[in-house]
Structure 1
Amino acid sequence: MNYDHAYHAGNFADVLKHCCLTIALNHLKRKDKSFVVIDTHGGQGVFDLSDPRVERTGEAREGILRLLNQAEAAPGVAPESAHAYLDAIKILGGGAMRNGSEDPGTGFSLKRYPGSPLLTHHLIRPQDRMVISELHPAYNESLRATLSRQPRVHVETKDGYETLIAHVPPPERRGLVLIDPPFERTDEFRILVRTMRAALRRWSQGIYMIWYPIKDTAAVEAFHADLRGLPESLPTPVPAIAAELWVRPRFPPLRLNGTGLVVFNPPHGLIQALPELMPWLRQSLAEQGKGEDRWFWLTEERKAGQ
C-alpha cells in the first residue's frame, strides 16, 4: 500500500479515464431510471494541486492543465464529448484564469483535481447511488471526509474486488463499475481477469470500465487476450472495447508512457465519441510527434450499452 496517486493526479491517464467516465455516466442519465456506480479503488477523493508532490512530478501541468489551457486558447476545437468533463473539472477544481496573463494558453489554473468519486458524485442525480471502496486507511479517511455528508454514498474499507462481487447484481440492474487499481501487485492483470469472470457471471449487463497502465506491452496483450475469452463462457454476448493513449514513445518503457481503458458493454455515446476524442487527446497531451492513440473492439461488436 505504498502507492500515492498525489504524485500523478491530473495526469494524462486521469484525463483519459475521467473523460470517458463522464461520457459513460451522462449516457446512463439519458434514462430516468436510477443506476449505481461502484468504484473499487476510490483513492483520496480530491487532490491539492499546490501539494509539493504534484509540483515535483509536473504531471498535472502536462495533463489536465495543458488540456484546459489549450481548450481556453482555441475555443471550439475540443470535441463536444469532452465539454462536460472540462466543465466539471473547472467547477470542482476551482478553476480560474490567472490575472494579467498575456498568453491565454498558459493562463488557466486549478486549485484541486477531483478523484473519480468526487467527479462521479458531481455528475449523478439524486435518484442514483454510489458504492466506493478504499482499503488504505489514510486514503479512506480522506475519502470519507470529502463525501461523508453526501446522500446515497456508501464508503467501504475493504478490498475493492471483494466489494465489486458483493454488490453485483445491484437492485437497480443499471450501472457502471470503475476498476482503477494502483498496479502495485505483479499479478494485478491476473486478478482483474479472475474478478471480471466472476462479476460478468453475476451481472453481465453492467458497464465495466477497467483502467490499466501500458509499460509491458506483452503483459497488456496477454491481458487483452484473456479478456476476449471471458464473454465466450456467458449465455449472453458481452461486447468490449479498448482505448489506448500514448504521450511518449512506447520504448523504452522506463515510465508511464501510455495508458488504456477496457470497457465491457460500452455505451453508445462513448463509442460515438472515441473517433474524435482520442486524436484530440493525443494532439493536446503528447510530446510533439511522439504520441499515439487507438481504440478497437476486443470482442465482436454487437448490441452495446444500456
Structure 2
Amino acid sequence: MNYRHGYHAGNFCDVFKHLILTLLIEHFKHKEKGFSVLDAHAGDGSYSLRGDLAAKTGEAEAGILRVLGMAHPSPVLADFLSLVRRLGLPDAEGKLTSYPGSPRLARALLRPQDKLLLSDIHPDALSSLERLFRDDRQVRIQALDAALALKSQLPPESRRALVLLDPPYEEPDEFRRQLTALKEAYKRFPTGTYAIWYPIKSPEPVRHFHRQLAASGMKPILTTEIHLAPLNNFQLNGSGMTIINPPWKLDKQLGELLPELLAALGAEKTGKVRLEWTVPE
C-alpha cells in the first residue's frame, strides 16, 4: 500500500513492459471479435514527469525520454513512441509532461467492441483511475487485489482476454503469490493470454519462478528479458516479461524489436536481450 510508481514512471522497465503490452493488444485486434484487457495492478493510469516524485529519481531521463530521442526507430517502435507522445500531454516545446501508464495505453488502443478491466487497492490509484475514465462505458474499475480480480473477472464473456500482472514486488513472496494466482486463473480460463512482468536484480529468484512455471502444466510460455548491465543483488539492471499463451509470431517480433530498444537505451555494449521458450508448444 506504500508503493508509489510515480518515482519510477517512464523508466526502462516501463518502456519494455508497455511496448510488449501494446504489441499484445495489437495481436488481439487481428480478430474482429471483442476482447478484454484485465490490468490487475492498474496504478494511477498517468504519472507527472514534472512533479516531486519523478524529480527525486529522474528515471524517465534514462528511459522513455532517451528512447524518444531516437533518430530513426523502426515502424513498430515508432508507433509506440507516437502513442506515448500523444498521451503524455506534451508542452509547447513537444516535451512530455506526463507518462501514460498501462491503463491509458491500453484504452487508447481498444476498439468499440473491446473492454478494459482495471483493479487496484491503493486509494490514490483508484481516485486517479476514476478521474481518467469517468463515464467511460468500456472501462470497469474495481477496488480488488489482483488475486480477487482474476477470480471475479475470468473467464470473460467474450472468452478472449489479455491479463497483465505487474505488482511492485515489495513483498518477499511475490513470485509465489503470482504463481498461486496464475494457477487458479489458468484452471478457470486456460485459453487466456497472461503477461507477467518482473524486475531483475538477482537472477536466482527469477530462475526459481520459471522452474515452477515450467512444472505447473501451463503452456506454452514465452519469456523475454532486457538487461542493461550485468545483474547483481543490489541494482535494478534488468526487466522481464513471461507470457502464457503468447500470440503467434510474437517471439519473432520481439527478437527483432528488443535489440533495437536495448540500443535506444544506450546499453547495446553493456547489456543483452534474452528470449526463450520456458515451455514450448
TM-score by length of 1: 0.88
- Determine the structure 2 residue equivalent to 1:85: 80
Which amino acid in structure 1 is aligned with residue 85 of structure 2?
Answer: K
* Offset from partner CA, 1:262-291 (integer Å, 9 cap, x none): 001111252231111111111111446221
* Offset from partner CA, 1:9-48 (integer Å, 9 cap, x none): 0011101110011011011111110001111000011001
- Give runs of aligned pairs for residues 246-285 of structure 1, distance below 5 A: 246-251=227-232, 253-285=233-265
> Cα offset for 1:292?
1.6
Q: How many residues align?
A: 281
- Give runs of aligned pairs for residues 39-54 of structure 1, distance below 5 A: 39-54=39-54
Contact 2:214 2:279 in 1 (8 A): yes
Gaps of 5+ in 1: 99-107, 233-237
Identify the match of residue 171 of structure 2 among 173, 178, 185. 185
Higher mean Cα deviation, 19-28 or 284-293? Answer: 284-293
SS of the counterpart of 2:10?
coil
* CA separation of 1:97 and 1:245: change in aligned 2, threshold 3 A: farther
**Given the alignment of the two structures, is residue 2 of structure 1 paired with residue 2 of structure 2, yes or no?**
yes
SS of the counterpart of 1:172?
coil
Over 3 Å off, 4+ runs: 95-98
Which amino acid in structure 2 is aligned with residue 31 of structure 1?
Answer: K
- Determine the structure 2 residue equivalent to 1:148: 134
Which amino acid in structure 1 is aligned with residue 21 of structure 2?
Answer: L
Contact 2:83 2:105 in 1 (8 A): yes
- Give runs of aligned pairs for residues 150-229 of structure 1, distance below 5 A: 150-229=136-215
- Determine the structure 2 residue equivalent to 1:103: none
Task: Give me the CA root mean square deviation.
Answer: 1.5
> Cα offset for 1:143?
1.3
- Determine the structure 1 residue equivalent to 2:114: 128
What is the rounded CA distance, in whole Å, between the counterparts of 1:36 and 1:161 in structure 2? 17
- Determine the structure 2 residue equivalent to 1:243: 224
Which amino acid in structure 2 is aligned with residue 84 of structure 1?
Answer: D
Contact 1:20 1:270 in 2 (8 A): no
* CA separation of 1:275 and 1:43: change in aligned 2, threshold 3 A: same
* CA separation of 1:196 and 1:59: change in aligned 2, threshold 3 A: same
Contact 1:133 1:155 in 2 (8 A): yes
TM-score by length of 2: 0.96
Percent identity of paired positions between Structure 1 and Structure 2: 39
Indicate the structure (1 or 2) with the bigger Cα radius of gyration: 1
- Determine the structure 2 residue equivalent to 1:94: 89
What is the rounded CA distance, in whole Å, between the counterparts of 1:229 and 1:288 in structure 2? 33
- Determine the structure 1 residue equivalent to 2:274: 294
* Offset from partner CA, 1:117-168 (integer Å, 9 cap, x none): 1111001111111111010111111111111222221101111121012211
Which amino acid in structure 2 is aligned with residue 118 of structure 1?
Answer: R
Gaps of 5+ in 2: none
**Given the alignment of the two structures, is residue 118 of structure 1 paired with residue 113 of structure 2, yes or no?**
no
SS of the counterpart of 2:241?
strand
- Determine the structure 2 residue equivalent to 1:61: 61
Contact 2:8 2:59 in 1 (8 A): yes
SS of the counterpart of 2:23?
helix
Contact 2:259 2:268 in 1 (8 A): no
What is the rounded CA distance, in whole Å, between the counterparts of 2:2 and 2:147 in structure 1? 18
- Determine the structure 2 residue equivalent to 1:22: 22
SS of the counterpart of 1:125?
coil
Which amino acid in structure 2 is aligned with residue 193 of structure 1?
Answer: L
> Cα offset for 1:181?
0.4
Contact 2:251 2:275 in 1 (8 A): no
